[in-house]
Amino acid sequence: MKLQGKHIIDASDLSVDELNLIIDLALEMKANTEKFSNLCKGKILATLFYEPSTRTRLSFESAMLRMGGAIIGFSDAETSSVKKGENIADTIRVLNNYAHIIVMRHPREGAPLLASQYSTIPVINGGDGGHQHPTQTLTDLLTIKYYKNDIKDIKIAICGDLLFGRSVHSLLKTLSRYPNTEFVLISPSELRIPYYLKNDIMKKHNVRILETTSLEEYMDYVNVLYMTRIQKERFFSEDEYIKLKGSYVLTPEKLKYARKDLLLMHPLPRVNEIDYEVDKDPRAKYFEQASLGVFARMALMALLLGRDY
Ligand code: NCD
């Protein structure tokens, strides 16, 4: 298995064996972070963020710094030469001489793929429009492995904006390749998963997919509940967003029917879909999930950079 030099654009760019290799290394890095503190000495990460981010950008930066590397980049394209009209291809050609690895977030689907076509150093998709978010999925898998010991027999309810949620798309594509996954997809009818994705998953993998508009219906059945926010920025009209934004709110009352071994996840940011009271529930692990994201990204970058550990 050689990950060195690879671009990570889509969740399916990594095989299950490669995903497991990254997760195992991430767990080792979490257990013994100090041991890896010089692993990426002399390496530079460029973070090119054309869209807002807190966790993805800062966890990538924290990950590189914890491995002894350095970081450059922008978190607002308005302060870069994009403002002057520079295109992605030219930006990437230049960055290839400034850094050893790039993570890019962009509002346009396909922008990181385009970037990878002009890049001789690894490009990682940090989220492209409503399409994919593969490193969120690595974080999610690591969280499942950490709390459930294994990524198999997962009955996962995914609730919220399944149409525009890129974290959801990458997670669906990836978990459907793990043994015995069952999906319960909860959304308003307007925000169901894109047909291409459902078709792709159903055709390629023999997974069970249940669809419902009710958050409560399968609450006592699933062992993972993955809440997501309605993706305001992807809507064509404000009215449409306002109509759907309060569709689901998880409260302690609704959680009463959930299993004791439920793992409650959310990629964050939360808007209003999880009541703050739920944070006290021991099954709520979204902040732990965000912190595991640092180790997932450490492991991924170390392997893409071909570091020996
Ligand atoms: C997600 C994203 O940007 O797609 N956030 C993240 O990276 N943790 C989810 C979201 O914005 O809703």
Q: Which of 58, 136, 227 to mutate to test the pocket of ligand 1 (most atoms within 8 A of CB)?
A: 136
Instruction: Look at residues 119, 175, 148 and name the one whose alpha carbon lies nearest to residue 285.
Output: 148
For atom 7 of ligand 1, the residue with the nearest CA is 56
- Report the pLDDT value the prediction gives residue 309, as an integer from 0 to 100: 87
Instruction: Render pLDDT for 184-206 as a digit per residue (tens, 0 to 9).
Output: 999 999 999 999 999 888 778 88
Task: Compute, in angstroms, the gap from residue 231 CA to the centroid of ligand 1.
Answer: 9
Contact 208, 182 (CB under 8 A): yes
Task: Compute, in angstroms, the gap from residue 183 CA to the centroid of ligand 1.
Answer: 20
Question: Are 11-132+292-304 and 134-290 equal in CATH topology?
Answer: yes
Cα→Cα distances 192→70, 177, 230, 253, Å? 41, 21, 12, 25
| Predicted model pTM | 0.97
- Report the pLDDT value the prediction gives residue 85, as an integer from 0 to 100: 80
**Domain ranges across the chain:** 11-132+292-304, 134-290
User: Which CATH entry fits the domain spanning 11-132+292-304: 3.30.420.40, 3.40.50.300, 3.30.590.20, 3.40.50.1370?
Assistant: 3.40.50.1370
- Report the pLDDT value the prediction gives residue 159, as an integer from 0 to 100: 98
3-state secondary structure 144-187: HHHHHCCCCCCEEEEECCCCCCHHHHHHHHHHCCCCCCEEEEEC
Contact 167, 137 (CB under 8 A): yes
Token pair belonging to 197: 């994705």
Contact 114, 89 (CB under 8 A): yes
Pocket of ligand 1 (CB under 6 A): 55-56, 127, 133, 136, 166-167, 228-229, 267-269
Instruction: Render pLDDT for 163-172 as a digit per residue (tens, 0 to 9).
Output: 999 999 999 9
Contact 122, 101 (CB under 8 A): yes
Task: Compute, in angstroms, the gap from residue 60 CA to the centroid of ligand 1.
Answer: 14
For atom 11 of ligand 1, the residue with the nearest CA is 269
List active site positions: 55-56, 84, 105, 133
Instruction: Render pLDDT for 99-141 as a digit per residue (tens, 0 to 9).
Output: 999 999 999 999 999 999 999 999 999 999 999 999 999 999 9
Domain 134-290 class, CATH top level:
alpha beta
Atom of ligand 1 nearest to the CA of 231: 12
Token pair belonging to 248: 């689901």
Instruction: Render pLDDT for 23-82 as a digit per residue (tens, 0 to 9).
Output: 999 999 999 999 999 999 999 999 999 999 999 999 999 999 999 999 999 998 888 888
Cα→Cα distances 261→77, 140, 288, Å? 43, 17, 16
Instruction: Look at residues 206, 247, 211 and name the one whose alpha carbon lies nearest to residue 229.
Output: 247
Instruction: Render pLDDT for 240-250 as a digit per residue (tens, 0 to 9).
Output: 999 999 999 99
Task: Compute, in angstroms, the gap from residue 177 CA to the centroid of ligand 1.
Answer: 22
Query: DSSP string of 29-91?
Result: HHHTGGGGTTTTTT-EEEEEESS--SHHHHHHHHHHHHTT-EEEEES-GGGSGGGGT--HHHH
Contact 185, 212 (CB under 8 A): yes
